[in-house]
Structure 1
């Protein structure tokens, strides 16, 4: 079931990034591009970041960046997967109600929702690398402090701050996509989700060995190891060359492009680095999303992402409830306070459902390349709906 939702998640994500270079023509990178100055750039002496990235191709630089970005994605996945394990554990140890269990996960998503615009503006102003560095340190700190929480109130507060820091994680994928050649971008962004699935599997395996003996506090603490590793790796992350060009830091952008050329064994382009065609000097204007030109696309994408997040995380959080194998509670009473810890077989079942994300990723790549993004997303939402209906009927039995 998670596999179906995952394919929706990957398909919608690929659709978001496929037009990142919509204004770039790889066959004609020497077009005249007007800068903030009214003086035009001579075509034979200029090139853009997009032209350079496509000329250098996919090589050693992109492989290293894939590992760095994948580590961030893996750490994020572990923090999200732990939500389905933490709430039942708190129910048993601290006797929290079902409402409080739901609140434990809700505060994380509220933190993400509140902080997403904040991190976006920060990234536009100071760069994606700087934002990711601050985010990784805060995320590691608050996630680690969660393992020392003395009460339910502290858990809510600290997990809410974890969600606030997680709101910056998508910037890592944006940074990654900016350094990918046009032809490889869609596949690489989808394949990056292998790290997400790997992080989810690692979290389940960690819970399998830690929860029965050490408990949820140790699980929270050990789950921060990938976060610590990514925070230490942030100094080696490249800054966005597009950000440098847009902010007038052309020399830094050229230095980054020279590193890509050197790592990939390609010659550096000759000429002057200029902005992409149509790139605005004013950045980060959220209101542009609702302008006449982008309003329809924005509303449709928001609807798709809301539906995708609801389906995906709904299934993730519901899985542990299904594995408890108990009759539904008709209302407040003794059954509401009933505690049943997940067994080893439950964790193994959870691991198998998590592993289903891998075929979902590869199936998405196969289908998207042949039928396109929109048809793939629509078809996979339909498959998800049918699958959930079948699951509902089987549970009634």
Structure 2
């Protein structure tokens, strides 16, 4: 008689095992001796060998092991740490930064040269500077929107090409009107260069993000020094038109280098491109020779790149931070470019004695362009940005971003007011040197703080908005550094001194410190 239990396998529970986070039933399969000799136990077929999973399935969550473990892009970047991949990205982005410095520093050198060659009035000289930053002001938020919708790499590539194109064309300007049109278009294209900071920040581990973003300022300073050196060599021999041509060439080189620049993994995750995000993470793993974390990439389907200005004001905390940063970016650009232009005016004039009003007006109103010694003095004051970088590198991860910006601006304000003393020569050069270094350091700390405070889906448009406000400051500063200074040096210095104190206060009252913050 056939047993009812023939062909069956019996299992019973031996007990319950407590395993910290959950209760697990331990099961035991009964052996032949448990069921008797008349029961034949079937054998289970062998399990097939597991097949390797393609990248798309792994990115979608069908991992070969550790299926319940998930990690975000930022956690993966932190786990793999800083390595040669970040060095590669920093060098490519840094080259773009250096090329942009050519176009920005060109503004002060070009306006100084044309004021005599084209017999420009003071307001016309100021407009040459203002038109570039006006274009920057208009272009920055538009490029920011594009960066959140179409990607950081594409945006950076396009804006760099347009900077080269319009910069090259401006060398053929027959008159002031054409020069202003073409330099304005250069300015609009420059509005997209903040994507360089965004894409680098999104590839950096939290521990090294602050120091690395400050370090790329060295590329900017190198660009400034090279542009001044180029002007010293080219303007007296070939003229300013050739200077415009040579200054645009580095952007064309970057367009080629951009093909080696990967798209941001954070952006790809935010836009739902899981395979693209995994590809970028795998490239980091391969170049850094560090394994990816165990598990699978976490899906965040709700996180989409919106690129909306309203997203910057969705909460009271975010709205307050956004408004304070808009003020701070305005002040930083107003002071930084004001210092560049003012130092050019003071050095070329040769006399800054504030106690003698009439000689001051006569000296500063005379048409004098930079001579060889003037270019050398500009090089010396520009070198001040290197100590500013070193100081910021030393304190930004110790004191934090807010305190670093606040203290540097406060000390810069003190030295700005010291320019009210009747000084000239070496003491004046030292004061300008210190002011330039501190403002540059605070400005770079702001470039670190801003991408850290905003989430991925609005980071690009937030940077574009902040950069736009900074360019409004750059638009206005020539009227102080190149026009007001010819009427009253005391008033011009007081304006700049007051803005440094304001920037210091705003830095301190920012509601959030981002030191060690994980990007969201």
Return the TM-score normalized by structure 2. Answer: 0.65
Q: Which residue of 1 aligns with 2:221?
A: 197
Q: 1:313 to 1:336 in 2, by over 3 A?
A: closer
Q: What are the superposed Cα offsets for residues 303-336 of structure 1, whole Å, 9 maximum, x if unpaired?
A: 1111111111100111111112256897xx9988
Aligned with residue 155 of structure 1, among 171, 179, 197? 179
Structure 2 distance, partners of 1:337, 1:50, is 55
Structure 1 distance, partners of 2:141, 2:303, is 19
Structure 1 stretches (4+) deviating beyond 4 angstroms? 326-330, 333-337
Q: What are the superposed Cα offsets for residues 237-278 of structure 1, whole Å, 9 maximum, x if unpaired?
A: 1001111111111111111111110001112344332246x9
Q: Which residue of 1 aligns with 2:398?
A: 370
Shift of 1:279: 6.8
Q: Which residue of 1 aligns with 2:330?
A: 306
Structure 2 distance, partners of 1:256, 1:224, is 31
Aligned with residue 285 of structure 2, among 261, 274, 280? 261
Q: What are the superposed Cα offsets for residues 107-146 of structure 1, whole Å, 9 maximum, x if unpaired?
A: 1111111111111111111111111111111111011111
Matches within 5 A, 1:43-54: 44-54=68-78
Structure 2 distance, partners of 1:202, 1:394, is 32
- Please tell me whether residue 360 in structure 1 is matched to residue 383 in structure 2: no
- Please tell me whether residue 134 in structure 1 is matched to residue 158 in structure 2: yes
Matches within 5 A, 1:1-397: 44-275=68-299, 280-281=303-304, 283-291=306-314, 292-325=316-349, 338-395=366-423
Q: What are the superposed Cα offsets for residues 348-397 of structure 1, whole Å, 9 maximum, x if unpaired?
A: 11001001100110111222233222222221111111111111223589
Structure 2 distance, partners of 1:353, 1:368, is 23
Structure 1 distance, partners of 2:121, 2:363, is 11
Structure 2 distance, partners of 1:379, 1:226, is 35
Q: CA RMSD in A?
A: 2.3
Shift of 1:170: 0.7
Q: Is this contact kept in 2: 1:49–1:275, CA < 8 A? A: no
Structure 2 distance, partners of 1:54, 1:149, is 50
Structure 2 distance, partners of 1:138, 1:210, is 24
Structure 2 distance, partners of 1:392, 1:313, is 19
Q: Is this contact kept in 2: 1:97–1:337, CA < 8 A? A: no
Unaligned runs of 5+ in 1: 1-41
Q: Is this contact kept in 2: 1:246–1:275, CA < 8 A? A: no
Q: Is this contact kept in 1: 2:84–2:288, CA < 8 A? A: yes
Structure 1 distance, partners of 2:395, 2:293, is 36
Q: Is this contact kept in 1: 2:139–2:192, CA < 8 A? A: yes
Structure 1 distance, partners of 2:422, 2:96, is 37
Q: Is this contact kept in 2: 1:208–1:347, CA < 8 A? A: yes
Q: Is this contact kept in 2: 1:116–1:168, CA < 8 A? A: yes
Structure of greater Rg: 2
Q: 1:327 to 1:267 in 2, by over 3 A?
A: closer
Q: Is this contact kept in 1: 2:164–2:251, CA < 8 A? A: yes
User: How many residue pairs end up in the alignment?
Assistant: 354
Structure 1 distance, partners of 2:365, 2:381, is 27
